[in-house]
Structure 1
Amino acid sequence: MNMPLILLYNLDNSKGAKIRRMCLPLGLRARLVKPEEYGLPLGELVEGAAPETPWEGEGFSDEMLVLVNCTGPLLDRFLQGFRRNKIPPVALKAVLTPTNRTWDSAALHAELLRERQAIQEGQAAHAGKEGI
């Protein structure tokens, strides 16, 4: 199944509704991921699997998007839609890859936080060197 899909985390609100409406004309299916599904591998979530037992690990409250089967032009139109529809950005975004499809939602969230922290630290390090 190669249909473009967006997994939405912690967006069961008006912002998430705007994102879902924005997806319709783009031909993107949007799926809200519930905290009890956080333990499923991302690949299984994409395939519509349901957890045998609810996730009991530590959840997260950050908004997060996982883009599945989104080509470059479609991805560009999706991201431009945020600006066009005046939707505030979602800080944590990932594309489903062969590597991360075996990760669960909590592992992906942790990795995205590590990446964001590394980028922020790198920017701070570079900012300090500008005066040299």
Structure 2
Amino acid sequence: MEKILIYQVKEKEAVKQLLAPMKIRLEEIEATDLRQSIGDLAEEKKNVLTAPFTGSAPQESLMVFCGVNEKHFDKILFELRRKQIPVDYKAVLTPSNRKWSVLMLMLELTKEKNSFRQGN
């Protein structure tokens, strides 16, 4: 099933309208769920043993594409640019990152962005 997880995306309703014709589900990640794994959130199986996040939450926005086909993926990225909907980080759920917490994913994306900016 195609699904997109979002965190801190300010234009949530615009994203929801964009996804509706493609029948892609949109799930919002709450700050208390930042320690949950991306895979568990995608499957709506929160780990009850994972303590809720209570620290200072990241302010950046995140969008995680879960099982989205290539055609929809390209269209969504195009429309986000066209409609100027800002999202700081975009990622695809993979076998490698599915066990990462949302915080870990955001940390990795921040490292990649900084490395890219420095030209490495």
What TM-score do the two structures reach when normalised by structure 1? 0.82
Query: RCO higher in 1 or 2 (8 Å CA, sep ≥ 6)?
Result: 2
Decide which of 72, 75, 79 is 1:74's aligned counterpart.
72
User: How far did 1:44 drift?
Assistant: 0.6
Give structure 1 regions of 4+ aligned residues with deviation exceeding 3 angstroms: none
Q: Determine if the alignment matches structure 1 residue 48 to structure 2 residue 44.
A: yes
CA RMSD of aligned residues (A): 1.6
Match of 1:38 in 2: 34
Structure 1 CA distance, aligned partners of 2:39 and 2:55?
Answer: 19
* Aligned partner (choices 13, 16, 33) of residue 17 of structure 1: 13
Aligned partner of residue 100 in structure 1, secondary structure: coil
d(CA) in 2 for partners of 1:62 and 1:7? 14
CA shift, 1:50, in A, is 3.2
1:60-114: CA deviation from partner (whole Å, max 9, x where unpaired): 1101100010121110011122234x23331211000001000000000000000
Alignment of 1:1-132 (within 5 A): 3-11=1-9, 13=10, 15-52=11-48, 53-84=51-82, 86-122=83-119
> Alignment identity in percent?
28
| Letter of the 1:105 counterpart | V
2:8 touches 2:62 (CA, 8 Å); kept in 1? Answer: yes
TM-score by length of 2: 0.89
Size of the aligned set, in residue pairs, is 118
